[in-house]
């Protein structure tokens, strides 16, 4: 008997290990660089099929952590160009969230599948599992300073037809639907609660359970909204926008300062013949701060005057009297020069733009040589641009680098009045791999959530723009079709006039869907505790 039991345990372990690896591979495949978005409907099924009741809580968490780590490490491997140790460490931290989800699922939810024949119980596991997944995704926006990279919703960035629920729920709603479908399918495969036996024709509602059909129906409804409305696009007067990519990979090297400045100036001047109405520069476009460096301010003002159009640029300010840097977006008018007011980045990169707890752990400076911390901004700040064609004033709301990964930051910018969202970023640190594409996919979600066009200017790519429906209207590429190049392009930008001055439900009410998920999970936990006390 002991040998049979040991054999059963070994089989269970091998089944769990196989499931962990398959789930990690499938989850990796749904994001760039592979981008097989349809796998998002089934990537969790391998984790949901093993019987986790045979394993301890510690082992279940470990299996979930391993699956998460195997997903995250190749997903953010491009970070190794900045820090190998940080890439491994960040992957290990992010994997904790997958471990927590599998622990909750394996201990609290999967045992309920035995009661799945009941109408209420059939919905319990998929809905609670999806709600807890959303809670964990939301937690990644603030735990350890926040890194909400690649939530499930981003996997559908190249499938705009399924994004139409985003203006109502935010990306959280789409993540919820995807996990719901995964768990409903797994529940159906593992412990069917519809009758398959019998003779003759069985109606579809008997073959496919309602708990699977409802989320699929919502996504079909989303597609219907998209295809109905996208053909009714009411375009504004086009605005000719110039995107500049200097592709400076050694930006802060003193020996490269002159060469990097020359790149920015040359690529900007090259756009003059294409008659841009405004020019966009990426994050930290020049290798020295525009405020706090002798001569650069005058040089930029002269360039804007030569071009005859404003330049909206990512750049740095060094406030010597306060001893701080600010990472900002600045407006340079061709006649008035550099504006005094500018946008300051609100969400700084830990260990990249500041050292957390520098005063208490000074030895970290040995590994992260940042002499002065950047100071974060406190609010959204929009720039006003007058469209020459229509004479209308357009408010441009800037975001810097990975600020567009945080839904609330883009939402606050739109609430402040932004008609366009502009992302100034520098992804050249991460090589020519998937990092820039993954980052750009987040901008698609922000565009649909807020129903605002998103314009992106990257130091080495991805540059281009996305419309309010999530369509990538233009991806700035070279003659090889690559986003990674030094150059620029003038692109006509239009917006859907139906959304002018319109605030979506999500913009108005924010993370209401997250709080709904927290509520239903808390109700379930309280109910379980009360049941234990009564028994």
pLDDT tens-place string over residues 124-179: 999 999 999 999 999 999 998 899 999 999 999 999 999 999 999 999 999 999 99
Measured distance CA(467)–CA(455) in Å, rounded: 9
Q: What is the pLDDT of residue 189?
A: 82
* The pLDDT value given to residue 111: 84
For 414-461, write each residue's pLDDT tens digit.
999 999 999 999 988 888 899 999 999 999 999 999 999 999 999 988
Please name which of 478, 414, 464, 410 lies closest in space to residue 436, comparing C-alpha atoms. Answer: 464
Please check whether residue 426 is in contact with residue 248, taking contact to mean a CB–CB distance below 8 angstroms: no
Report the C-alpha gap between 287 and 349 in whole angstroms.
19
Is 246 in the same domain as 228?
Answer: no
Question: Which residues of the chain fall short of a pLDDT of 70?
Answer: 1-11, 114-120, 191-208, 249-255, 355, 357-372, 389-390, 535
Co-location of 464 and 525 in the same domain: no
SS3 annotation, 100-158: HHHHHHHHHHHHHHHHCCCHHHHHHHHHHHHHHHHHHHHHCCCHHHCCCCCCHHHHHCC
Both 212 and 250 in one domain: the answer is no
Q: Residue 273's domain is classified under what CATH number?
A: 3.60.110.10
Q: Are residues 467 and 525 in the same domain?
A: no
Same-domain pairing of 311 and 460: yes
Asked if residue 20 and residue 79 are part of one domain, the reply reads: yes
Judgement on whether residues 124 and 257 belong to the same structural domain of the protein: no
Q: How far apart are CA 251 and CA 444, in angstroms?
A: 28
Q: Maximum CA pair distance of the chain? A: 89
DSSP 400-420: EGGGGGSHHHHHHHHHTT-SE
Q: What are phi and psi of 487, to 5 degrees?
A: 170, -150
CB–CB of 121/115 below 8 Å?
yes
The C-alpha atoms of residue 358 and residue 420 are separated, in whole angstroms, by: 37
Gap between the Cα atoms of 396 and 381, Å rounded: 9
Q: Give the count of domains, the chain.
A: 2
Do 209 and 315 lie in a common domain?
no
pTM for this prediction? 0.92
Cis peptide before 270 (omega within 30 of 0): no
Taking the alpha carbons of 29, 35, 39, 45 in that order, is the dihedral positive or negative? positive
Q: Do both 99 and 247 map to the same domain?
A: no
What is the model's pLDDT at position 205? 44
**H or E element at residue 20:** helix 2-29
**Is 208 found in the same domain as 267?**
no
Q: Which pLDDT belongs to residue 358?
A: 63
Q: Are 466 and 520 found together in one domain?
A: no
The CB-based long-range contact list for 109-115 (8 Å cut-off, 24+ gap) reads 110/48, 110/51, 110/52, 110/53, 111/53, 113/187, 113/190, 113/191, 114/191
The residues near 71 (Cβ < 8 Å, ≥ 6 apart) are 23, 24, 27, 28, 95, 98
Q: What is the CA radius of gyration of the chain?
A: 25
Determine the structural domain holding residue 45 and report its residue range: 2-232+512-534
| Dihedral angle computed from the Cα positions of residues 109, 113, 119 and 125, in that order, rounded to the nearest 10 degrees | 30
For residues 457 and 355, membership in a common domain is answered with yes
First-residue to last-residue Cα distance in the chain: 34
Residue 140 has a CB neighbour count (10 Å cut-off) of 18
What's the pLDDT score for residue 369?
53
């Amino acid at each position: 008997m002991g040998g049979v039991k040991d054999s059963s345990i070994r089989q269970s372990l091998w089944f769990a290990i196989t499931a962990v690896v398959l789930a990690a591979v499938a989850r990796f495949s749904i994001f760039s660089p592979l981008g097989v978005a349809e796998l998002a409907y089934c990537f969790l099924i391998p984790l949901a099929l093993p019987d986790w009741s045979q394993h301890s809580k510690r082992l279940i968490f470990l299996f979930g952590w391993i699956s998460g780590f195997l997903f995250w490490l190749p997903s953010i491997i491009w970070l190794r160009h900045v820090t190998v140790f940080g890439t491994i460490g960040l992957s290990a931290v992010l994997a904790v969230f997958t471990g927590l989800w599998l622990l909750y699922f394996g201990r609290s939810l999967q045992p309920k599948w035995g009661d799945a024949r009941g109408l209420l119980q059939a919905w319990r596991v998929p809905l609670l599992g999806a709600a807890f997944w959303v809670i964990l995704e939301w937690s990644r926006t603030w735990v350890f300073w926040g890194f909400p990279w690649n939530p499930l919703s981003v996997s559908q960035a190249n499938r705009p037809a399924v994004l139409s629920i985003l203006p109502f729920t935010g990306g959280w709603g789409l993540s919820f639907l995807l996990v719901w479908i995964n768990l409903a399918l797994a529940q159906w495969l593992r412990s069917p609660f519809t009758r398959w036996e019998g003779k003759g024709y069985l109606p579809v509602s008997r073959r496919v359970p309602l708990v699977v059909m409802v989320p699929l129906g919502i996504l079909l409804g989303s597609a219907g909204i998209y295809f109905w409305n996208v053909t009714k696009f009411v375009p504004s007067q086009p605005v000719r926008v110039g995107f500049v990519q200097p592709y400076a990979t050694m930006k802060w090297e003193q020996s490269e300062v002159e060469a990097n400045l020359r790149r920015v100036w040359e690529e900007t001047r090259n756009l003059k013949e294409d008659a841009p109405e405004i020019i966009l520069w990426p994050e930290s476009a020049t290798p020295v701060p525009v405020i706090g460096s002798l001569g650069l301010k005058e040089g930029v003002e002269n360039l804007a005057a030569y071009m005859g159009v404003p330049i909206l640029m990512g750049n740095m300010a060094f406030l010597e009297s306060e001893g701080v840097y600010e990472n900002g977006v600045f407006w340079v008018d061709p006649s008035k020069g550099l504006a005094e007011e500018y946008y300051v980045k609100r969400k700084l990169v830990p260990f990249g733009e500041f050292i957390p707890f520098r005063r208490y752990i000074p030895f970290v400076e040995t590994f992260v040589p940042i002499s002065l911390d950047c100071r974060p901004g406190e609010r959204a700040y929009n720039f006003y641009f007058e469209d020459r064609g229509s004479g209308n004033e357009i408010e441009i709301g800037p975001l810097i680098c990975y600020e567009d990964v945080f839904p609330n930051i883009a939402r606050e910018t739109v609430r402040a009045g932004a008609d366009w969202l502009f992302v100034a970023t520098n992804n050249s640190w991460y090589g020519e791999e998937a990092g820039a594409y993954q980052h750009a996919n987040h901008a698609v979600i922000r565009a649909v959530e807020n129903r605002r066009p998103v314009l992106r200017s990257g130091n080495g790519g991805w540059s281009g723009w996305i419309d309010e429906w999530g369509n990538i209207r233009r991806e700035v590429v070279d003659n090889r079709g690559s986003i990674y190049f030094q150059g620029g392009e003038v692109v006509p930008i239009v917006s859907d006039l139906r959304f002018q001055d319109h605030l979506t439900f999500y913009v108005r009410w924010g993370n209401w869907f997250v709080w709904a998920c927290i509520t239903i999970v808390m109700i379930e936990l309280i109910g379980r505790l009360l049941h234990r006390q009564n028994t």
